[in-house]
Amino acid sequence: MRRALLALVVLVTSLVVPVAGVGAAEAELGPAMVALWERTDGPVAAGETDRSWLWGPQANRVTTEPYTYAPLKENRRLVAYFDKSRMEINDPSGDPSDPWYITNGRLVYEMMTGRIQVGQDPDIYTTVLPASIPVAGDPFSWNTPTYQVLGRLMGSAPDRTGEIITATVDRDGTTGFDLSRRAAGLRYGAYVTYTGEQGETVGHNLPEVFVDFLTRHVSPLVAPADWVFVTGYPLTEPYWTKTLLNGQETDVLVQCFERRCLTYTPSNPDPFKVEMGNVGLHYQHWRYGSWQVSCPTVPVRGFGTLWSSNREVRDTLGCPDDTTGERGIRTAYQRFERGTMIWVDVDDVYNPERSILVLYDDGTFARYADTWDEGQADSDPRLTPPAGLYQPVRGFGKVWRDVPGVRDRLGWAVEPERGSHGAYQRFNYGTMVWIEDFDQIWVFAGDLYWNPGGTWSVHDDTFDG
């Protein structure tokens, strides 16, 4: 999506010196990078072309990164992060006039999969959590799917060339169709196939508006290569989704490729309806945590202490949902051989029903409605636990007995169920739950009340007050 164009007044020659973006630059752009920017985005900065940025108005971070490759000294390569992508030089001894001398990394693929390439050999990589950052819109656009979510939609799709695009995706990755999107009149314009990592044939549809943008504006900039050199192959289908743009809910069509994401925003003025997403900014924040975003509100007390001191928690959850705030709740819990059950009774507009959270020892959880009522059987007399263990009862027992797989994964309870008090708070991309008896805070990645499950972690409550 488009950032404010304040940098239009920045002189092109300013790129020759160390670039100040997010923090001070750690290196200088080489002449080849400067020349590439001047050739491709210089006309955008000067208002001489009717397209949006290919890289961005300036370099935000210039540094060297570990990369195992024989031509590199000390196995480090020069990289420059822009809003839209990253320039990189893998072989500084090569010919700077070669179109492939400067490449742009597979940033989207890495954010979707959590696999950071650190060597020329594709098997040289490190593994981290995928990026819980919305692919379009404002930094904490709560209604937009993240790279991590879209990573679950990688695969292949049938050829739909000529059909009107009505496919949708929501914040949790649920796909569907919205026939009202026919009014936009956007059609699939091409079907692209390529060989996947396992040798399989992968195919994805491209919207006509993206095909036009790529062939008319991008391919000429990188000849004799074509647009695939810039974007990589498509990883997802194009989907309509919602996003926040300058705080306003906006409809966008988004499609992600290995190196770039493209967006089509009907409400944008021409010629900025089609734009490159801010992949470079997102990746830099994901990898370095150097993109600071101000939240309208911040959590307080124990939730606030954990959120402000733990970057991973903060990046996972995003900003607090300012429509709810921290709430006191009734809770119950029970530990099992291979996990825990937690009952929460929030009773607000977002959670009108009591919920049972099943936390497995592998770090995943599932949420179920508590449908047990007084008068129903609270246990199964046919089930006899081993000595020292317990059969769960009431709502815990109903889920444990009736939901396939729960009993096998949890095992028997190791203690009786216990009631307690606690607190909870919703965030853009998850929830915190505090239970008084433990004096610990559970972090659930993925909204408890919109998603059926996700991942969890637990942290000591260090707040003293």
CB-facing half-sphere around the CA of 152: CA atoms within 13 A: 13
376 and 255 fall within a common domain: no
* CA torsion, ordered 389, 395, 401, 406, to nearest 10 deg: -80
Element (H, E) at 229: helix 227-231
26 and 129 fall within a common domain: yes
- Residue whose pair of structure tokens reads 């540094």 in the numeric block: 63
Report yes or no: 64 and 76 within 8 Å, Cβ to Cβ. yes
Residue 101 lies in a domain: yes
446 and 315 fall within a common domain: yes
Structural domain boundaries enclosing 323: 301-460
Return d(Cα 367, Cα 370) in angstroms, integer.
9
How many structural domains does the chain have? 2
Residue 164 lies in a domain: yes
Cα maximum dimension of the chain: 80
277 and 308 fall within a common domain: no
Tens digit of pLDDT at every position of the chain (465 positions) = 333 322 322 223 333 333 333 233 446 888 999 999 999 999 999 989 888 899 999 998 899 999 999 888 889 999 999 999 999 999 999 999 898 999 999 999 999 999 999 999 988 888 888 888 899 988 777 789 999 999 999 999 999 999 999 999 998 899 999 999 999 999 999 999 999 988 999 999 999 999 999 999 999 988 888 999 999 999 999 999 999 887 788 999 999 999 999 999 999 998 889 999 999 999 998 888 755 555 777 888 899 999 888 878 887 787 887 667 888 889 999 999 999 999 998 765 455 568 899 999 998 898 898 998 888 888 999 999 999 999 999 999 999 999 999 999 999 999 999 999 999 998 877 889 999 888 899 999 865 555 556 789 999 998 876
ω into residue 224 within 30 of 0, thus cis? yes
Report yes or no: 302 and 434 within 8 Å, Cβ to Cβ. yes
- Distances in Å between the Cα of 279 and the Cα atoms of 109, 136, 139, 238 are 11, 9, 12, 17
Residue 419 lies in a domain: yes
Model-level pTM? 0.65
Extract the runs of DSSP E, i.e. beta strands, from 319-417.
327-336, 339-345, 355-360, 364-369
Angle made by CA atoms 298, 459, 290, in degrees to the nearest 5: 50
End of a domain among 262, 288, 314? 288
Report yes or no: 93 and 78 within 8 Å, Cβ to Cβ. no
